[in-house]
Structure 1
Amino acid sequence: MTDTTDLLARRNAALGAGAPLFYEVPLHIVRGDGIHLFDADGRRYVDMYNNVPCVGHANPYVVEAMARQQATLNVHSRYLHESVVAFAERLAALHGPEIESVILSCSGTEANEVAIRMARFATGRRGIICTNATYHGNSELVGSLNRLGQQPDPNANPAVRGFPFPEKYRPIAANLSEAELCDAYLAQLGQAIAALQANGEGVAALIVCSIFANEGLPDVPEGFMPRAAALVRQAGGLVIADEVQAGYARTGTWWGYEVTGFTPDIVVTGKPMGAGLPLAATAASRKLVETFRSKTRYFNTFASSPLQAAVGMAVLDEIENRDLRGNVATVGAALKASLTQRKGASAAIGDVRGHGLFVGVELVKPVDGSPDMELAKRVINRLKDKGFLTSNAGAFANVVKLRPPLVFSHDNAAQFLDAWDETIAEVAA
């Protein structure tokens, strides 16, 4: 086995100690192919985590499109280019008629920042509402929304207010019907709206991951999101759907907002769009987009490029031509059902949730059902040793997060389930 000590020391010196790495013993990954990653010793792992290579690592169709375009032309966006226009048109058309135009960028952080600024310009207000356990990016503006429930003073920024993310597994009040629970969470959202109105910021937008991925993929009370969207619009705000994790067929539908049943005013996409090439987008009505452009003269050197368009088109082609939405729906449903059946086999499995090929298994302490982050860490490290790469996430970092490329198959799922059973028997007995 290759000793990675020297490489790790060089990494800490070159990048600065503290740059995140997965696993107790970090992996030195050198190659990818389909759903697989390979380390420096040639060991093969099944990638159960990365949604960037959504159509598979080193997808030959995408690679060919990337190489062909780079060998032909790649420039900034201040020239006319047919493919850039065609890609933006195609992307907008994947939504309903309210989405007409697109601003391309290079990361989800950038796209979310554009979305927030767009909402502020459109409404003339500054207040942003998010959940108390979300993540939307790394800039100062977008980062101010992240994990408010863990901040010493979640109300330190007067223009940001959080509310408890909606869930049925650990509800904010006990012994409520689903309808009553929905009302209770909407009341919390109403309090956030009222706070922004009272302090003079007003409501510019509600921003949510459409399936609440970073919160742990909770099962949301029926009807919450459409009613939440209506409540925000009644207060004069817009609704931003962060589809960086939820979109691009991840749920078995094109968009996560189709699953949770609401219509956004602004849609943000990122990671899987370029299958490894930096590509993100903020999509909205033409009026919203042009209002933003008129007030900012927004320009991004590496966005709206012919290379982005070629790769973006190739990814969409692969999803459509290989019916990956259908694959995600069938394989994801079977994987979730199989994991759900295992709840009774171990008291450490508290809940199984998710949509399509995005499944979360909540691990708990059997004595009281409280979140067990340490067990989740042991599980993901043992799964890694067995050749399956996952991670722990969620509001309490106790949810084993399963998010393989969209080409993940029934056979792959069966192999994973064998490794899962062995792992739970070994570390959660």
Structure 2
Amino acid sequence: MTELYPKPDKPAQILDMNAFDQARSKVSHAVQRRLNNVGASSVLFYRQPIEMVFAKGAWMTAADGSEYLDFYNNVPCIGHCHPAVIEAVAQQMAKLNTNTRYLVNIVDEYIEKLKATFPAPLSNVVLTCSGSEANDLAMRLACKSTRGSGFIVTECAYHGNTAYVTQVSPSSLKNDTLPNHVVAIPAPSTQNYGADIEQGFANRVQAAIDELSQRGIKVAGLLLDSIFSSDGVFTHPNGFLHSAVEVIRRAGGVYIADEVQPGFARTGTHFWGFSAHAVVPDMVTMGKPMGNGFPMAGVITKPYLLEAFCEDVGYFNTFGGNPVAAAAGLAVLNTLASEGLQENARVLGNQIKAHLLDIAEHSSMIGEIRGSGLFFGIDIQAQGVPDAERTIQVIDRLREQKILAGAAGKQGATLKLRPPLCLTQAEAEFFLDGFRQVVLD
């Protein structure tokens, strides 16, 4: 059978980017202790890992007293160890923590406040403990409602680590090819689709639907990280997902927006990444920043999708939606509003991006700069070609400047930056000064 869409080149592995490599690094006592305890599943940042002991706001402190500006971890979206979350969690933990088989006011208070941030058609919430669980459930809902089993994702996507979700996470697979029911398509970039990203991406979605059909598989869903973070961060032009969503729905599939990375005001212009595309997803999955470090996640969906699923099987998660998680989540939503963090992300993000573009004019190692709000992707190159090794060198040199950063992209050659939304003007300038030192030398 001739495939309508060829399999993409194998993407760089997301867990290998900026990671400790025992073959190339000195193994300290602390690292050996971790390896002994965790074994082959151990994942540590940097060739020489950092032992962290404290964090506050946008800063993390290492055991040797070094302080690092955190431009990588998007989990503490309102800042590390935010007092509002600490107080809310402590008070609720001292009062009651149980499961959702009981009525607890703070759980429904949280869900209603969360729902208020979404378009009205999305009105049923199922709370889980991790984004992986949320995406797993969303995929199951999609299969039940569409009676299909095929999924379309981008070629460097990462959506989680359950057995089911790993199958739609190409950047997690080291040796295996994608299973027959999954088709991966290139990220929505000008490099892949030229000037008309919207139509080019929609055409690829249609080609993937056709390929699944040739394999005898009906499409169930289009599952997309709304900011394409693992693919290298793609945000513009606004609205480029609109036609692709129309294509998937005409084929009888649903659109699942994975907001684990871009959600909760990070893009500055919108509270949710999908909102920039003038579309209403059939389901939205959430995680990471939802509890600012307290493990919580969830799916919000149109009621008919949940009703169809529950005709066959119930869903209960012992820790999902517990009152302490609800307290943490409520504190996050309240703080985002009271401290004006979405506007801060928009204003500071625009300023930082403008300075980055200026720096790029004087640096041969910087390629394209993308992003929205406080989420950036910066391509690192050598002689105009994406260079993963140089990206690691930039990350290491930023560490010397006391700045934490990460990597992404198909070649692992995109610098990924996600500072907390509480970032200050002075901290933004600290980052820019350090970045200049690294890329202009």
Same fold (TM over 0.5): yes
Change (3 A) 1:113 1:52: same
Deviates more, 1:255-264 or 1:235-244: 255-264
2:89 alignment partner, one of 66, 85, 88: 66
Structure 1 consecutive aligned stretches of length 4 or more whose deviation exceeds 4 Å: 148-154, 219-223
Which of 148, 154, 165 pairs up with 2:187?
165
Q: Give distance in 1, aligned partners of 2:57 and 2:199.
A: 44
Q: Which residue of 1 aligns with 2:336?
A: 319
Inter-partner Cα distance in structure 2 for 1:335 and 1:126: 42
Q: How does 1:39-188 map to 2 (within 5 A)?
A: 39-147=62-170, 154=177, 156-168=178-190, 170-172=191-193, 176=194, 178-179=195-196, 181-188=197-204
Partner of 1:288: 305
The superposition leaves residues 32-71 of structure 1 with CA deviations (integer Å, 9 ceiling, x where unpaired) of 1111100112221111111111111110111000000001
Name the structure 2 match of 1:195: 211
The separation in 2 between residues aligned to 1:106 and 1:152, in whole angstroms, is: 28
Distance across 2 between alignment mates of 1:164 and 1:399: 16
Equivalenced residue count is 415
C-alpha separation between the residues in 1 aligned to 2:58 and 2:171? 34
Counterpart-to-counterpart distance in 1, 2:342 and 2:27: 38
Match of 2:50 in 1: 27
**Which residue number corresponds to residue 229 of structure 2?**
213
1:251-286 per-residue CA deviation (whole Å, 9 max, x = no partner) reads 012100112332211000100011111100100112
Which secondary structure does the structure 2 equivalent of 1:332 belong to?
helix
**Mapped pair 1:243 → 2:259:** yes
Q: Give the drift of 1:100.
A: 0.3
Do the aligned residues in 1 keep the contact of 2:233 with 2:376 (CA within 8 Å)?
Answer: yes
| Alignment check: 8 A CA contact 2:166 2:172 kept | no
Supply the distance in 2 between the matched residues of 1:372 and 1:219 (Cα, whole angstroms): 22
User: In structure 2, do the counterparts of structure 1 residues 327 and 219 end up closer, same or farther at CA, with 3 Å as the change threshold?
Assistant: closer
Q: CA deviation at 1:219?
A: 4.9
- 1:273 is matched with 290
User: CA RMSD for the aligned pairs?
Assistant: 1.8
TM-superposed deviation, 1:293? 3.1
- Identity over aligned pairs, percent: 38
Q: Alpha carbons of 1:113 and 1:278: their partners in 2 closer, same or farther (altered >3 Å)?
A: same
Partner of residue 348, structure 1:
365
CA distance in 2, matches of 1:78, 1:104: 13
Query: Does structure 2 conserve the Cα–Cα contact (< 8 Å) formed by 1:102 and 1:289?
Result: no
What are structure 1's unaligned runs of at least 5 residues? none
In structure 1, C-alpha distance between the alignment counterparts of 2:114 and 2:167, rounded to whole Å: 29
Distance 1:128 1:412, change over 3 A: same
Shift of 1:163: 1.4
The equivalent of 1:332 in structure 2 is 349
Instruction: Measure how far apart 1:152 and its partner are.
Output: 6.8
Change (3 A) 1:311 1:148: closer
Q: CA deviation at 1:312?
A: 0.7
Q: CA offsets per residue over residues 185-240 of structure 1, 9 Å max, x none?
A: 32221110112223332111100011111110135566430000000000001000
Change (3 A) 1:403 1:149: closer
**Maintained 8 Å contact 1:133/1:147:** yes
| Alpha-carbon distance in 2 for matches of 1:377, 1:311 | 35
Which of 400, 403, 409 is the aligned partner of 1:385? 400
Report deviation, 1:8. 1.0
What CA distance in whole angstroms lies between the structure 1 residues aligned with 2:167 and 2:103?
A: 36
Q: Distance in 1 between matches of 2:66 and 2:347?
A: 29
Distance verdict in 2 for CA 1:219–1:322, change over 3 Å: closer
Please, which moves more after superposition, 73-82 or 311-320?
Answer: 73-82
1:101–1:81 distance in 2 versus 1, CA, 3 Å: same
Corresponding position: 1:227 with 2:227: no
**Paired letter, 2:263:** G
1:260 to 1:347, Cα distance in 2 relative to 1, 3 A: farther
Cα pair 1:203 1:236 within 8 Å, conserved: yes
**Does 2:374 match 1:357?**
yes
Gaps of 5+ in 2: 1-25
Contact 2:235 2:372 in 1 (8 A): no
Query: Does the residue aligned with 2:385 lie in a helix, a strand or coil?
Result: coil
Whole-Å separation in 2 of the counterparts to 1:301 and 1:289: 19
CA contact (8 A) 1:4 1:28 kept: no
User: Structure 2 residue aligned with 1:254, among 271, 276, 287?
Assistant: 271
Give the corresponding residue for 2:19: none
